[in-house]
Chains A and B, each alone.
Chain A
């Protein structure tokens, strides 16, 4: 039962009509929950080096290990249970994707809205800078930054934010420029409200729909970018294997037919990214007034 009388209710009931998007949304929710709760139920703690059994290294899926339990998805080169490693890896991916997406959202959204609000030289300066950055591929920027900043979770997030905030700034600027000209902003400005209050309470909230679409795409992109950087050996430290690193570590064994070390983490990664993109596609179609029936 959904309430069709509120805007959110109407949005939801329209969203539900697309079966694929609905399934994708469920997949995103389930994977996120599994990832966040991983330490509570995962069969092994993949970060605890003391618990790893080296004689169980590179075993195929279904192998029963020395400890007596079954490695359903096999083990990697260090004897890690791949199922546990994937769950912990997903946890890192989701954390980094959401953290990078949220910070880029806040920084980029504010920059774009402030530029549109102030206008004049400030606007030209900010937007020229953003445009300049948008003309460079995000992957290259993230690559160089993570090389410069070194390894670690926060360094990686900083590199991802720097590579992606510009998309939010561009979108927020476009939306805010259109909103800026409307009467309610003028009305708000004629009251004794500070400019900061006008920007954050009135201007920015009205720019949300396109920003939300960008956010879903960028969370998926952050996750893919993080995996790519880790695959190249520039992301997280080896002690906390993310999905990209698990795939990279398995790569050398793949040529000799031990496919599972790379394949299963990759499948988990792609299912997550694909599901987020499908949800994002549906939200975009619903918010696009030109496609309205």
Chain B
């Protein structure tokens, strides 16, 4: 197990290095930050000084090494646009995104699993067909379109819910949260719903497939033969058995949802990381782009690493031989 762990950690480090090089070269290719930093009518001297201060006169590989050095020390530099340390900027936006993502994934799971289980339990009923229709729709309709329709219906036509922003927040341990106030919850509802529809469709499919397989299995037959009520068979035995793939997908989807929040946050002006990255791409704010990409890469590598470790702990075959 230890050898496996070391191997995986080394792999993660190599991947992280490769990504840092890609991000550096990629972001380097986007526009010229000098044009953003300095107004065109300053003297040539100031211009050269600024270029030297940011190290843009160095060769590319030297800039990359300096970049790596700062990265290791968790120094992402200052945002060109906000003129504050990038790390502070990102940390100040992270809670909003986490809140939105968590609400979306939790909502999708809590709603999708029972719906999917029902659709698997009675596959031919009309309700099940409606549920499966909903899931195909959830897969097909782009996220931004769902957001637009929800805004049109609930914000413009009915006027029940706000179309954007985060509403009033309550600080806990120095971090602002929306879900603790009625107004904040109102603001959270539409974006969370938008973000969750795809996840909902996925959860419905997973739970349905698991249910259809489980219902034919021996343990269900034996549980029934034992005289257990259908509720106990489904709620006790089947739910436990189909929860393993659901928990896995829940973990993997959490990362993907964090990435998809980019679109939802832009539509609803939700002041999170996703809106920050889109604004940064448009204003060529390089330090923010780099930090965001490295953060997301790190997050995904961590998630995959943990999933690998969890599988290895559960399945001894993965630890030995070919890894």
Contact = CB atoms under 8 A, between A and B. Distances in A.
A266 B145 contact: yes
A233 B300 contact: no
Which size bracket describes the interface of A in this complex? 35 or more
B30 A148 contact: yes
A113 B277 CA distance: 37
B236 interface: no
Contact of A232 (B136, B266, B301): B266
A259 interface: yes
A277 B260 contact: no
Interface of B: 15, 26-27, 29-30, 136-137, 139-145, 148-149, 151-152, 155-156, 163, 255-256, 259-260, 262-263, 266-267, 277-278, 281-282, 289, 293, 296-297, 300-301, 303-304
A269 B260 CA distance: 19
Contact of B141 (A147, A262, A270): A270
B256 to A, nearest CB: 5
A190 to B, nearest CB: 28
Contacts of A266: 145, 148-149
A34 interface: no
A132 interface: yes
A244 B148 CA distance: 12
Contacts of B297: 136
Contacts of B136: 274, 277-278, 281
Nearest to B22: A144
A68 interface: no
A147 B30 contact: yes
5 contacts: A135-B304, A143-B277, A259-B152, A270-B141, A277-B139
A137 B145 contact: no
B144, B152, B156, most chain A CB atoms within 10 A = B144
A232 B260 CA distance: 12
Contacts of A167: none
B152 A232 contact: no
Contacts of A125: none
A140 B263 CA distance: 10
Contacts of B163: 255
Interface string A214-233: 00000010001001100111
Contacts of A143: 262, 277, 281
B28 to A, nearest CB: 9
A262 B148 contact: yes
Contacts of B139: 277
A234 interface: yes
